[in-house]
Structure 1
Amino acid sequence: MTVDSSVPRYRQNIYEVDAIVDPYPHYQRLRALGPVVWLPHQRVYAVSRYADCKAVLLDDESFVSGDGVSLNPVANRLGRGTTLNSDADDHATKRSVLAHRMTPKALRKMTTTVEEAADGVVARAMSMLDVDGVEDLATALPLSVVPDLVGWPEDGRDDLLRWAGATFDAMGPINCRSVGAAKAVAEMMTFAHRVVKNRSVLDGSMGHDVLAAADEGTIDPKACPALMVDYMAPSLDTTIGAISSALYLFSQHPEQWQAVRADPTLIPGAVNEVVRFESPLRAFSRKAARDVDVGGVPIPRGSRLLVIYASANRDAAEWDRPDSFDITRDAARQLGFGSGVHGCAGQGLARLETRSMLQALARRVERIELTGEPKWAVNNIIHRLERLPLELVPSRGEQA
């Protein structure tokens, strides 16, 4: 591919380990270079400014997902059949099979169940001397909710986190992580095929809806395995990322934790600010369906364009003090869950789980204190903590 020499190049590899662990200096340099930057290592255009990212995400006719949203052709081929890798009527049909379970009305019916699960998770964590915020809190809640919602049989749940992480790693560029993830992704798809063949999904679940839609002719039966895993990985890792980041950020900003405890109505806005500040998803790509301009830069038809959500959420042209965590700001327009027709369908559930966890903690915990060095996971797509040693200091009522 011949790239216009006027398009600036960014020659550092944003998928190196150091850049994955601390991406924000790279994002700042990308934004400074221009509205569109060429990444030689991945041979893709990248947009990193808020306005340009949102414009691309909202223009689903010029920038399509049907040819995949990954940075390598193998993952794009394997992702065919999912809602993520589909467009127009095909996307709407597949999404309709599952999305009715993620409507505000449906989620309201789940609220009590999720809140009770969050209370139980927090109670167990507070009985422990050493708490890992990732394993004991951020992971425990989604694992108690999502597999039942999707309808995943009990015998396949031990591998869900490993498979979910591998699914996202495989969607990066061709590197050691995406190649290394291939075996786990193949395992997950093999299991999904077996679940569909044996019809071993839980009654009344998303998986049950998928099989019913195939029986009714709404979708091709061959799409069932892909749709079975469609919501599983995103509903786990993004929520784990949001909850663990919230715990870490409140440990570093105790005054904001006290504000939340004093006024729990701040929690929904705090969830948006957490997602803005530490976006669980780094970036996905789109393919240009026609010659098109982005920020005045011509993008040739057939080009792949990387939309860096996490950079958009730190753009000083959009946000006042973007590198400051502030739960009182209006962060509702953050792009951490994407935007447009491909906006994360599971974001309502992710918000509910994160909100429920913070509410449960606010009732019981005076302070969230870091007791060791946190460790960030290394994943091509997901931005989340891998380890977060904490002490949950109980409030006076809990101590009594």
Structure 2
Amino acid sequence: MSATAQHAPAVPVCHADPFSPAVLEQPEELHHVLRTAGPVVYLSRYDVHALARHQEVHAALVNWQHFESGAGVGLVNFRHEKSWRPPSLLLEADPPRHDAPRRVLQEILAPPALRRLRETWHAAAEETVDRVLSQGTEFDAFTRLACAFPLRVFPDAVGLGPDGRENLLPYGNMAFNSFGPVNDLVKADAHRVAELSAWVSANCAREALTEDGFGARIWAAADRGDLTHEQAPLVVRSLLTAGVDTTVHGLAACLYAFATHPEQWQRLRERPESARVAFDEAVRWQSPVQTFFRTATTDVTIAGTVIPEGTKILMFLGAANRDPAHWTDPDRFDLARDPSGHVGFGMGIHQCVGQHVARLEAEALLTALARRIDRIELTGAPRRHPNNTLRSWESLPVRVHRGA
């Protein structure tokens, strides 16, 4: 880290690559370097400014007027380059284009709808856990629980049929990889872009969806004129893209947290009503979504540094969620903490519209586990799945000890 940059002498410069395999595997050291360097850091490798402290990240997330999403939330600038997929009407749009799709989804995913799902999802979680435990007490908690449960209940709720759901995680992996540079991770997915995009597009069509799911309600909103019929499949696609991977890896983070913090698992068993807090604390602690870009709509000054109009700025959500200036003992997973200020779901008008859906999934699965299991322990080293944006998992080998 040097103290000067030729074109911006007052800004600390970092020459590290935040998308390198080593940093994606273990980002904490770089996060510490960036937070320590200053409120704004220049990343020379990508010619972008970066924010890693909670105060600045939060402020940028809520300031959509000056830091737009419509130019893309990745390194690619949609004003100058075209993506391989249509931009998300939720994640990659700003008012007024963003307003109608978000309003429709907020209504569809409102508390009354989730209350109707609660009993069904809790029953499904009980069945999922019983099936896993019936086959032994040692298993991969990532594939058997963190993946299996969301891939059962969420596509059901959207209205997808049973075939092809195994495509959802690879498609999401591809989409989140695309927010970073065109590195080996992106190139490894290139041969599947057409296939996976075609599958997702086909399953967002009205005729592919059941009549009683979230997807059908999105199409009904188009029939009422709340959306256009061209927007409807894109909103369904946004729901699927954002609603699977983040929940899967958030649940995996939760299970990893409890396997490495047994005293917190006992706290959950004693207070099962804290399941949703546990999920939010795991999202803060592990931050399934590590980074997002924004684009400056005008020259913007942050802590004395001018972010030039039209340039990208990289927000390190994972670093903000462990900022010791905002959190006490931030590297500890702690159910006594109030994690509600974390930025793992974003903030402002682009805050994750499906976050309450994810919390309900977590509540159902964790409650079912807490009723049956005294202790969770790792039986081997967990394996990460590298992704340019997600702190994702590949394997989480555990042994569980059954309750009496």
Q: Same fold (TM over 0.5)?
A: yes
Structure 1 residue runs of 5 or longer lacking an equivalent are none
1:311 and 2:319 correspond: yes
Deviation at 1:268, TM superposition (A): 2.5
Aligned match for 1:189, one of 184, 197, 204 = 197
- 8 Å contact 1:163–1:233 — kept in the other structure? yes
**Matching residue within 218, 224, 242 for 1:234:** 242
Distance 1:231 1:151 in 2: 12
1:128 equivalent to 2:135? Answer yes
Letter matched to residue 396 of structure 2: L
Letter in 1 for 2:17: N
Query: Any conservation in 2 of the 1:65–1:84 contact (CA below 8 Å)?
Result: yes
1:292 alignment partner in structure 2: 300
Q: Which amino acid aligns with 2:56?
A: D
What amino acid maps onto 1:29 in structure 2?
V
* 2:66 counterpart residue number: 62
SS in 1 for 2:49: strand
Q: Which is further off, 158-167 or 237-246? A: 158-167
Q: CA deviation at 1:321?
A: 0.9
Match of residue 48 from structure 2: 44
SS in 2 for 1:361: helix
Q: Give how far 1:324 is off.
A: 1.5
- Tell me whether 1:88 sits opposite 2:95 in the alignment: yes
In structure 2, what is the Cα distance between the partners aligned to 1:314 and 1:3?
30
CA apart distance, 1:123: 0.9
**Other-structure match for 1:155:** 163
Which one-letter code corresponds to 1:67 in the other structure? A
Could you tell me which of 371, 376, 390 is aligned with 1:363? Answer: 371
* 1:19 aligned onto 2:23: yes
User: In 2, distance between residues paired with 1:249 and 1:371?
Assistant: 14
Shift of 1:112: 0.9
In 2, the alpha carbon distance for the partners of 1:217 and 1:269 equals: 38
Kindly state the Cα deviation for residue 239 of structure 1 after the two structures are TM-superposed: 1.0
Q: How far is the alpha carbon of 1:267 from its aligned partner?
A: 2.4
Helix, strand or coil: the match of 2:322? coil
Q: Shift of residue 299 of structure 1?
A: 0.9
The percent of aligned pairs where both chains have the same amino acid is 35
Corresponding position: 1:8 with 2:29: no
- Equivalent in the alignment of 1:106: 113
What amino acid is aligned across from residue 313 of structure 1 in structure 2? N
8 A Cα contact 1:177 1:380, kept in partner = yes
Q: CA deviation at 1:198?
A: 6.8
Pairing of 1:190-205 with structure 2 (within 5 A) = 190-195=198-203, 199-205=207-213
- SS for the counterpart of 1:139 is helix
Q: Please state if 1:221 is matched with 2:229.
A: yes
**Following TM superposition, by how much is the alpha carbon of 1:377 offset from its aligned partner in structure 2, in angstroms?**
1.2
Q: Which moved more, 1:268-277 or 1:340-349?
A: 268-277
Residues 197, 242 of structure 1: alpha-carbon distance in 2 compared, 3 angstrom cutoff: closer
Q: Give the stretch that moved more between structures: 313-322 or 353-362.
A: 353-362
Task: Give the unaligned 5+ runs of structure 2.
Answer: 1-5
Residues 28-63 of structure 1 show CA distances to partners (whole Å, capped at 9, x for unaligned) of 100111111111222211111000000001111111
- Bigger drift between 34-43 and 196-205 goes to 196-205
Match of 2:360 in 1: 352
Letter in 1 for 2:338: D
Residue in structure 1 matched with residue 3 of structure 2 by the alignment: none
| SS at 1:231 equivalent | helix
* Residue identity opposite 1:68 in structure 2: G
Q: 1:76 to 1:7 in 2, by over 3 A?
A: farther
Q: Deviations over 1:69-124 (max 9, x none)?
A: 11124675634252111111211101123222221222122111111111111111
In the alignment, does 2:101 pair up with 1:97? no
| Correspondence for 2:285 | 277
Q: How many residues align?
A: 396
Work out whether residues 276 and 314 of structure 1, in 8 Å CA contact, stay in contact via their aligned partners in 2: yes
* Aligned match of 1:31: 35
2:148 and 2:107 mapped to 1: Cα distance?
25
1:142–1:62: structure 2 CA closer, same or farther, 3 Å change rule? same
* Paired amino acid for 1:54: H
Shift of 1:3: 4.1
- What's the TM-score, normalizing by structure 1? 0.94
- Judge which range, 320-329 or 219-228, deviates more: 219-228
TM-score by length of 2: 0.93
The answer to whether the Cα contact below 8 Å between 2:159 and 2:210 also exists between their aligned partners in 1 is yes
1:298-320 CA distances to partner (integer Å, 9 max, x unpaired)? 11111111111111000011011
- Residues 67 and 76, structure 1, Cα contact 8 Å, conserved in 2: no
Do the aligned partners of 2:289 and 2:389 also contact (CA within 8 Å) in 1?
yes
- Do the aligned partners of residues 187 and 164 (structure 1) sit closer, same or farther apart at CA in structure 2, a change above 3 Å counting? same
